[in-house]
Chain A
Amino acid sequence: DQQVKQNSPSLSVQEGRISILNCDYTNSMFDYFLWYKKYPAEGPTFLISISSIKDKNEDGRFTVFLNKSAKHLSLHIVPSQPGDSAVYFCAASADAGGTSYGKLTFGQGTILTVHP
């Protein structure tokens, strides 16, 4: 049972345009969400996160939106740059005391390609 799903295996965007990566989850106990970026031959690197008490978090060109009622989050990259081309993973964690505390559940990943 895939508790965190990224239904788009790939996304292609023109440089300067917006990239929107989507993620859905099923476990209502998840209350903290993260996005990681992964380049080939490297480990995933943390990009941005959001707590369930918020619906938006911004960091420069990156914004994460959380819709708790829909169990959906998205990552917006504006403007997109060729260096953003990578695999993006969303991940979720549950609150303290739960069996998932301290553990991350990852989605399958979305390959983003930004064309010059």
Chain B
Amino acid sequence: DADVTQTPRNRITKTGKRIMLECSQTKGHDRMYWYRQDPGLGLRLIYYSFDVKDINKGEISDGYSVSRQAQAKFSLSLESAIPNQTALYFCATSDSGGGETQYFGPGTRLLVL
């Protein structure tokens, strides 16, 4: 079984709709992250959480919100989706005592029409 799972894997939605992407991990890591990948731009950090009570904005947090429901769960919401949020979204985890290596989920491909 995968250590970091994301649901859904693919999603098509319409402009203005609210959508939630979910991430779960079984690695026991404290830290969780949400990134988006766009062609030619690499991965950009949206939000990150170093523990259940700690939520921080990344470089591109506008239009997004997150919830850390438990150590193992970190969800990303688009309150009112817009077409330029069409992207590949990745969740990642890391161990606070284990250096900087992050472990990624398989990604969610989101299309906003």
The number of residue pairs between A and B whose CB atoms lie closer than 8 Å in the complex comes to: 56
Interface residues of A, count at CB 8 A: 24
Interface residues of B, count at CB 8 A: 26
B77-113 CB mask vs A (1 if < 8 Å, else 0) is 0000000000000101010100111111111000000
Q: Is the CB of B102 within 8 A of A32?
A: no
Query: Which chain B positions have C-beta within 8 A of A22?
Result: none
Q: Is the CB of A108 within 8 A of B90?
A: no
CA–CA, A6 to B33, complex, Å? Answer: 22
Taking the nearest CB of chain B, how far is it from the CB of A59, in angstroms? 13
Q: Is the CB of A43 within 8 A of B42?
A: no
Taking the nearest CB of chain A, how far is it from the CB of B40, in angstroms? 6
* A36 nearest in chain B by CB position: B104
19 contacts between A and B (CB under 8 A): A9-B40, A36-B104, A41-B107, A42-B107, A43-B90, A43-B104, A43-B105, A43-B106, A93-B100, A102-B50, A102-B100, A103-B33, A103-B48, A103-B58, A104-B100, A106-B35, A106-B42, A107-B42, A109-B42
Can you add 13 more A-B contacts, CB < 8 Å, to A42-B107, A93-B100, A103-B58? A4-B42, A9-B40, A32-B100, A34-B100, A34-B101, A41-B106, A43-B92, A43-B107, A89-B42, A102-B50, A106-B42, A107-B42, A108-B41
- B residues within 8 Å of A by Cβ? 4, 31, 33, 35, 40-45, 48, 50, 58, 90, 92, 94, 96, 99-107
